[in-house]
Structure 1
């Protein structure tokens, strides 16, 4: 450790740094964790309300095809057998997601894959070079599915008209010609029994943690550690010297309801543009709860600005060009490493976050790290 009190300063107490901290602790390294929020766990943090584990920052369903990652996570918690099967609500009619034979039967009353393929082909826009998101979607799926289940939801998510969104956003549309409502194709899937918080308590065990601590107001703290792993916004770290990267933000409205079951499903998307929220979550269904009350969350997509929480990097060519400049800057610096969605400006699923954290630790510490 040399002259430094800590081996690592970990900025942010989300999943990336939690996995990194666990690996560091296994090797007897000492970590200082600072977190601007009042709790550890990042966006996976759950709050217990009425005996229900409420996902405070949106639904998080762990899923992966990587058995190493699944085994790793199972050392930290026990998963239930929750299968993500969301619904879409359009004008008070419910449709299964992802688009499958149940969806098409509900839309058109058709029963066989052949009938559905024919219907989609009839409705498809025949165009070689779609100029925008709307044309691309219509060329892939046709009018009915697009108008009812894609258009409004996408416009709310991005905050603009579908005709002004680039075509590349939607390279393909997952269509199943089976009656299978399981949203993910991954073989491993579930929710930690009792919520996500216990994972973070285990991973950060033995670390010194300062919550409610803003890194940018306490930059001198880097001197207390040999190396820093930063999981905040890379553009903010460099004081936006190449300009701000773009993100989408979210807003959540949580409500306790005096009924035992509000909507009968954990996730229902609202696909009309006129309905301001994108989806309603009912948290007890993630863990098959039977509590007398329920907690629901309305989720709203919103434009990000400084001061709001950034959730989704907006992966345009212009943003990628900016990010590469920041990345070059980062690579020129010693003893500072960037990780996670914001540090690497990537839309990571949870399993990919775990993989990336293990990979960084291994790179920094040689072959003793988890493989």
Structure 2
């Protein structure tokens, strides 16, 4: 196969995984990132004051049922066992999440068995809502007004900045209640946290003689002319200079503070009451329970609308955004020579394992197209 000159825009998971595959296939790879570090929003670094490994852009917990993805990340980093648990402070008490039998019994002051709790929830649920259309209808249909008000409504309003009556039911995808005492947040087969952090993992992925990494450098479309193909993991609308408008995102503000000892006793404490301005507090040393630190680093997390100079986190994907997205997809499909990848490039919320899976699939698809002499499409995973 003829050596190709390829450009990866973004040194996050998508750019790193695709770039590594292209370099191992014998191609010349340049990776640009406007930030001064790799790993994108997964970036981790040691806090200078406490030594705690901090998830700079908020916590990322690795969980997957994809054995190949699990094998891939463990090729570049040692993942140690970690079971994620979340608590929430609501109405003056601390409860376990997701809503489980302990949460239900504690909230109602009962000692119900699973069948009794299931019958109780069925009795208070609004069964008149046969086909829920909104987030609120979905919640009322499956857990009733009490648990909805205590655990879902306020948090959702703060996270998304709109009423739950304006959000689609699909956001609340699964039945948000368990009728046993299992408070593990994730049920996936493979779960863990990287011993040295995600940044160390991505640095090892990028450690290949065929990769030229350039940090602190912004991409411009004129650069694409110097490469045989571009893999772009930046904002889809940003690639087109926001010509059709800006796609909507939520962004996050973090209020960092340090303490001595253990501040809250868990990695994540949600705050469901609407009068508390932040959505949660994360305590980062609990994400690496194998380490021992006298001090601790915490983040209060605030969600708000994403401005032009903010870091985009969560794509909103409501009706107006989806219409605009459709027009941008049309433009992308006509572009040629560029493939849009990742969370920003496809305007979809993606967990890390899905991001890596799609990057592996995209890389393999490109190598096949290159071998066949055919054109790689703009999206290997269409946004719509």
TM-score (norm 2): 0.90
Aligned equivalents of 1:273, 1:308: Cα separation in 2: 24
1:307-322 to structure 2, matched below 5 A, reads 307-322=309-324
* Matched-pair contact (CA < 8 Å) for 1:260–1:290: no
User: Residue by residue, what CA displacement relative to the aligned partner does 1:121-142 show, whole Å, maximum 9, x if unpaired?
Assistant: 2221232354643233112111
Say what the alpha-carbon RMSD is for the aligned residues.
2.1
Aligned equivalents of 1:334, 1:133: Cα separation in 2: 39
SS at match of 1:272: coil
1:45 is the counterpart of 2:38: no
User: Residue by residue, what CA displacement relative to the aligned partner does 1:46-105 show, whole Å, maximum 9, x if unpaired?
Assistant: 120122110001110000011111111111111111111111111341111111112112
Aligned equivalents of 2:172, 2:69: Cα separation in 1: 28
Unaligned runs of 5+ in 2: 372-384
Shift of 1:21: 1.4
Corresponding residue for residue 65 of structure 1: 65
Aligned equivalents of 2:370, 2:329: Cα separation in 1: 27
Aligned equivalents of 2:132, 2:184: Cα separation in 1: 30
Compare 98-107 and 293-302 and name the one that shifted more: 98-107
Corresponding residue for residue 187 of structure 1: 189
Shift of 1:194: 1.6
Shift of 1:193: 0.6
Compare 110-119 and 162-171 and name the one that shifted more: 162-171
Corresponding residue for residue 142 of structure 1: 144
Aligned equivalents of 1:15, 1:119: Cα separation in 2: 45
Residue of structure 2 aligned with 1:21, choices 12, 19, 23:
19
Aligned equivalents of 1:351, 1:139: Cα separation in 2: 31
Corresponding residue for residue 126 of structure 1: 127
Aligned equivalents of 2:249, 2:158: Cα separation in 1: 14
SS at match of 1:28: coil
Aligned equivalents of 2:44, 2:76: Cα separation in 1: 16
Residue of structure 1 aligned with 2:29, choices 4, 28, 31:
31
Corresponding residue for residue 54 of structure 1: 54
SS at match of 2:194: coil
Aligned equivalents of 1:193, 1:90: Cα separation in 2: 33
Unaligned runs of 5+ in 1: none
Corresponding residue for residue 9 of structure 1: 7
User: Residue by residue, what CA displacement relative to the aligned partner does 1:104-162 show, whole Å, maximum 9, x if unpaired?
Assistant: 12212233111111221222123235464323311211122111100100000111223
User: Residue by residue, what CA displacement relative to the aligned partner does 1:294-342 show, whole Å, maximum 9, x if unpaired?
Assistant: 0001111110121111111112233223222222222222211100011
Aligned equivalents of 1:33, 1:121: Cα separation in 2: 54
Shift of 1:357: 0.5
Corresponding residue for residue 208 of structure 1: 212
Aligned equivalents of 1:221, 1:367: Cα separation in 2: 22
Corresponding residue for residue 241 of structure 1: 243
Shift of 1:270: 0.8
Compare 242-251 and 227-236 and name the one that shifted more: 242-251
Count of residue correspondences: 364
Aligned equivalents of 2:91, 2:197: Cα separation in 1: 33
Corresponding residue for residue 284 of structure 2: 283
* Matched-pair contact (CA < 8 Å) for 2:125–2:140: yes
Aligned equivalents of 2:93, 2:38: Cα separation in 1: 39
1:229-268 to structure 2, matched below 5 A, reads 229-257=231-259, 259-268=260-269
SS at match of 1:332: helix
